[in-house]
């Protein structure tokens, strides 16, 4: 049954891909195939945020699951933002989708920044330079790190030690199925 559900969701997203022309990865990765997204939304909702920003939001699967009055999703792929805005039309609680990455975050303050399934292709130095101007604006940061014993190859395996002194680890969730650990940091 789960297999059929995943295939149906993939078919729907592949139809959207045909219309909007976004990267195929988004179509092959519905939430039914990526249950970690539900846990990320649960962790985020547990802090009772008023405002949430997600960088690398894709089609908005995570940010749509979060219970918060203000939700903003950023992605650098224009076509995926157009598709996310289309999906948004059918949702009761709207998300504001914007084109861009860390450098485009223009919210004056927000409760939590989410950046999962995104940072593994970037160096610690790059991530630190992206986060440094944003950290004073937020209370929490939710990121993921790839467990070293996984089967996939990534450029970088972050431990986020560069956040020491600026943020403290508040919660961790190990997802053994997806070979990653989700880390919720709180500003110190």
Mean pLDDT of the region 128-143:
96
8 domain-assigned: no
Would you place residue 151 in the very low, low, confident or very high pLDDT band (cuts 50, 70, 90)?
low
> pLDDT tens-digit profile of 43-62?
999 999 999 999 999 999 99
**Residue 123 half-sphere exposure, CB side, CA atoms within 13 Å?**
3
Instruction: Please report which residue ranges of the chain form alpha helices under DSSP H.
Output: 2-20, 24-28, 36-46, 61-65, 78-88, 124-131
Based on the structure, what is the number of domains in the chain?
1
Q: Residue 156 pLDDT > 70, yes or no?
A: no
Calculate mean pLDDT across residues 29-35.
91
Residue 4 falls inside a structural domain: no
CATH code at 138? 3.40.50.150
Q: Which domain holds residue 130?
A: 35-187
- For residue 43, what are its two tokens? 């962790």
> Does residue 157 lie in a domain region?
yes
Residue pLDDT, tens place only, 87-127: 999 999 999 999 999 999 999 999 999 999 888 888 888 99
Q: What is the pLDDT of residue 87?
A: 97
Query: What is the predicted pLDDT for the residue at 150?
Result: 54
């Amino acid at each position: 049954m789960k297999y059929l559900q995943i295939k149906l969701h993939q078919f729907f997203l592949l139809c959207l891909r045909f219309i909007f022309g976004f990267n195929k990865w988004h179509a092959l990765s519905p939430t039914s195939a990526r249950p970690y997204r539900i846990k990320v939304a649960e962790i985020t909702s547990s802090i009772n945020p008023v405002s949430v920003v997600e960088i690398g939001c894709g089609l908005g699967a995570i940010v749509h699951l979060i219970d918060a009055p203000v939700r903003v999703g950023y992605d650098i792929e224009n076509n995926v933002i157009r598709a996310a805005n289309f999906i948004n039309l059918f949702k009761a609680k709207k998300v504001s989708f914007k084109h861009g990455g860390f450098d485009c975050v223009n919210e004056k303050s927000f409760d939590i920044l989410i950046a999962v399934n995104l940072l593994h292709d970037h160096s610690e130095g790059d991530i630190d330079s992206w986060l440094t101007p944003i950290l004073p604006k937020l209370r929490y940061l939710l990121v993921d790190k790839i467990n070293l014993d996984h089967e996939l190859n990534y450029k970088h395996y972050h431990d986020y030690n560069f956040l020491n002194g600026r943020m403290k680890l508040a919660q961790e969730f190990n997802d053994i199925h997806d070979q990653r650990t989700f880390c919720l940091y709180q500003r110190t």
